[in-house]
């Protein structure tokens, strides 16, 4: 019986150390513009991602809107740069969400990941949800 508790404790210890703890960076690209736009167009390929983003932003997709939401899931392993491949990296990729007006950045949020791309997306989603709800507080 004691042996099973020891095994369970070791398993919990090792699995707790596997959680990715990368920071999530977010900023309005132009510090004079800190209010969320009133409409968004989601240029996101995955239907599941698009629905999740619509839910997080609280805005439905409007194709005529000048503000475009782009989601990038980048894997460094796809990079052909020999310097990057030889040096290695502390992370395997990143998840970035950008809002652009035309070609100019309006807002961006990003988190790196080592092995768990979905965890990075969830970190981005949580930070976005927190920041977006703070921006919508009336003054």
Kindly report, residue by residue over 44-53, the tens digit of the pLDDT.
888 999 999 9
Whether residue 50 lies inside any domain: the answer is: yes
pLDDT of 81 > 80? The answer is no
Whether residue 43 lies inside any domain: the answer is: yes
pLDDT for position 105 = 92
pLDDT for position 51 = 92
- Give the number of domains in the chain: 1
Residues 101-128 have a mean pLDDT of 89
Pairing of strands 41-42, 67-75: parallel
Whether residue 116 lies inside any domain: the answer is: yes
Greater confidence (26 vs 70) lies with 70
Whether residue 103 lies inside any domain: the answer is: yes
Q: Radius of gyration of the chain from Cα atoms?
A: 19
Whether residue 4 lies inside any domain: the answer is: no
List C-alpha distances in Å: 21 to 64, 100, 111, 121, 132: 38, 28, 10, 13, 22
Residues 32-53 have a mean pLDDT of 87
Global pTM value: 0.69
pLDDT of 113 > 90? The answer is no
Whether residue 130 lies inside any domain: the answer is: yes
Whether residue 93 lies inside any domain: the answer is: yes
Residue 55: give the domain boundaries: 24-135
Greater confidence (134 vs 125) lies with 125
């Amino acid at each position: 019986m004691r042996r099973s508790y020891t095994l369970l404790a070791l398993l919990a210890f090792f699995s707790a150390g596997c959680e990715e703890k990368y920071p999530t960076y977010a900023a309005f690209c132009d510090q004079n513009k800190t209010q969320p736009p009133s409409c968004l167009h989601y240029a996101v390929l995955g239907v599941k991602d698009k629905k999740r983003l619509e839910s997080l932003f609280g805005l439905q997709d409007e194709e005529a809107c000048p503000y475009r939401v782009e989601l990038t899931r980048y894997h460094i392993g796809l990079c052909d740069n020999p310097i990057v491949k030889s040096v290695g990296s502390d992370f395997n990729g990143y998840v970035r969400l950008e809002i652009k007006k035309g070609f100019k950045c309006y807002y961006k949020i990003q988190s790196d990941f080592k092995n768990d791309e979905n965890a990075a997306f969830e970190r981005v989603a949580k930070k976005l949800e927190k920041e977006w709800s703070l921006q919508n507080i009336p003054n």
